[in-house]
Amino acid sequence: MAGEEKTEKATPRKRQDVRKEGQVLQSREVVTAISVLGTFSLLSLLGKFMLVRLMDFTEKYISALGENRDITSEYVFQIAKDIIVLIAVVCGPIMIATGFIAIIATIVQTKGLFSTKSIKFKFSNLNPLKGIKRLFSLQTIISVLKGIIVISIISYIVYDKIVDKLPEISRLFNAEPIQGVAYLGSSVMDIVMAICILFAFVAAGDFLFQWWNFEKKIRMSKEEIKQEYKKLEGDPQIKQRIKQKQQLMAQQRMMSAVPTADVVIKNPTHYAVAIKYDINKDKAPVIVAKGKDFLALKIISIAEDNDVYVTENKPLAQLLYKEAEVGSYIPKDVYNAIAEILILVYNEKGRPVNL
């Protein structure tokens, strides 16, 4: 029903469908938090190595300033080469690790989903009204407020840390350069760790919000659930046709077994039951076919055309039709009655009797 309120949780089928469309639960803040934490953790491990390389580079070219050297194209090329190598060695591992961490965090959240549908061009995206609507959507407003709050808290953390360390920073002018750099590095890492903790809380909150928003977006109405159930169960008309075909095929198989029967018991035209008894195979006579009205007449006709013995026994035919299924043994309470009929059939056809 159009406009029906969507109050029901999404079904597994609906979740699969929206996933195919590229819609999954994902928080960018989680990726950012993990990337920042991973990057600065790597910086803390490689900080000393990076500092040594920077100092070696600086010392090399500061020393070169005092030399009487001609500025040739080869020398300029060597400087450019050293700078590129320095950037690759110092920044390369950090850049690669950051990218790798971001990719892994995204894959974990999306469970490896790769879909091009979400990035396909749509003319509807050019609609300015939709753009304005998205601009003032709940998610956009929350994102803006979240950004303002995060920036405010980071600014406070940086200010508070710097104010606390101003006395120590002022004394660094009389310290050795290595000690000054080490202290500054330690101070920066203190600020960074405080910011990482903040990002962790922001990421947790954003993930909960994204989960709530995603679940709300994929909710279904009761009518949608009913329609999905119908699709899964199949159209009633199609199911009816399939059932009719199955019944027709079963009847054809049943009719093909009538010529192999030993006897057909009828009543006289309303019911017909075909029975076969293979002494070497079966422990009791087996119902190979049964039918009512038109089907009964057809069984009788096939039996007569194939010289199968047909006998009339109204109560026995009705009982067998109602209590025995095709392919099953005859009921135990009619063993004697069937045995008498089979003996009569075998005697008439000159077959040995061994019941």
Q: Where are the domains of the chain?
A: 12-229, 239-349
pLDDT above 80: residue 188? no
More confident residue, 176 or 28: 28
Residues 93-114: what's their mean pLDDT? 80
Looking at residue 337, its pLDDT comes to 87
Contact 330, 287 (CB under 8 A): yes
Specify the DSSP class assigned to residue 8.
B
Looking at residue 350, its pLDDT comes to 67
pTM over 0.75, yes/no = no
Cα distance between residue 207 and residue 298, in whole Å: 70
Residue 115 binned pLDDT confidence (cut-offs 50, 70, 90): low
Cα distance between residue 159 and residue 168, in whole Å: 15
pLDDT above 80: residue 230? no
279-322: pLDDT as tens digits: 888 888 889 898 888 888 998 898 888 888 888 888 888 888 88
Residues 77-103: what's their mean pLDDT? 83
Looking at residue 354, its pLDDT comes to 57
Cα distance between residue 268 and residue 292, in whole Å: 10
Least trusted range by pLDDT, from 34-38, 234-238, 305-309: 234-238
Contact 311, 263 (CB under 8 A): yes
Looking at residue 171, its pLDDT comes to 66
Looking at residue 119, its pLDDT comes to 55
Q: What is the CA radius of gyration of the chain?
A: 43
The helix (run of H) or strand (run of E) holding residue 273 is strand 271-276
Specify the DSSP class assigned to residue 353.
P
Q: Give the angle 77-81-83 at the CA atoms, nearest 5°.
A: 120
Residues 226-252: what's their mean pLDDT? 75
More confident residue, 171 or 218: 218
pLDDT above 60: residue 30? yes
Least trusted range by pLDDT, from 138-147, 212-221, 248-257: 138-147
The per-residue b/e assignment along 149-173, b for 16 or more CB within 10 angstroms, e otherwise, is ebeeeeeebeeebeeebeeeeeeee
For the chain, give the percent of residues with pLDDT over 70. Answer: 81
Cα distance between residue 127 and residue 162, in whole Å: 48
pLDDT above 70: residue 197? yes
pLDDT above 50: residue 1? no
User: What is the architecture, at CATH level 2, of domain 239-349?
Assistant: 3-Layer(aba) Sandwich (3.40)
Contact 11, 230 (CB under 8 A): no
Looking at residue 291, its pLDDT comes to 87
| Chain centroid offset of residue 108 CA | 13
Average pLDDT, the chain: 78
Q: Between β-strands 309-312 and 271-276, what pairing exists: parallel, antiparallel or unpaired?
A: unpaired
| Chain centroid offset of residue 223 CA | 24
247-284: pLDDT as tens digits: 888 788 888 888 888 888 888 778 899 999 888 888 88
pLDDT above 60: residue 3? no
Looking at residue 66, its pLDDT comes to 64
